[in-house]
Amino acid sequence: MRFWDWLETKEENAPALDIVLPDSDERVRQKIRFHGQVQGVGFRFTVQMAARDHFVTGWVKNEYDGSVTAEMQGFVKDIRKVIRDTQTHSRFIRIDRIENESIPVDVHETDFRTY
């Protein structure tokens, strides 16, 4: 199977994870915690690249319990694209659950960092 065929199949079969984002046309900031196989598989790098591709700012870091926390700031449609891309990028990444909450926008933030 060619890579692009495999990727299309993976995107079609990606689990629909429940994440509630505000219905807004303005920039929002979300604190998002990813649970599953998200450490040691290139997940933070994947989040960072997807965020930069979709003009989302913020940061991502590993937690001691094996989860990964990110703060993402941008338009809701772009944050959704980042989350979608992280689910379909690698066969080694497995997101079982996502928790999120709205937090205040940081007007001075200009990039996406990895810790």
What residues are paired with 29 via a beta bridge? 73, 103
Active site residue 80: no
Please list, in sequence order, all residues whose beta carbon lies within 8 angstroms of the beta carbon of residue 3, skipping any fewer than 6 positions away.
none
Identify the active-site residue in 2, 27, 33, 44.
44
Q: What tokens does 76 get?
A: 């809701």
Strand blocks (E) in 13-67 = 28-37, 57-62
User: Checking DSSP bridges between strand 94-103 and strand 112-114, what pairing results, if any?
Assistant: unpaired
Identify the active-site residue in 27, 62, 80, 84.
62
Active site residue 62: yes
Among all residues, which ones are annotated catalytic?
44, 62
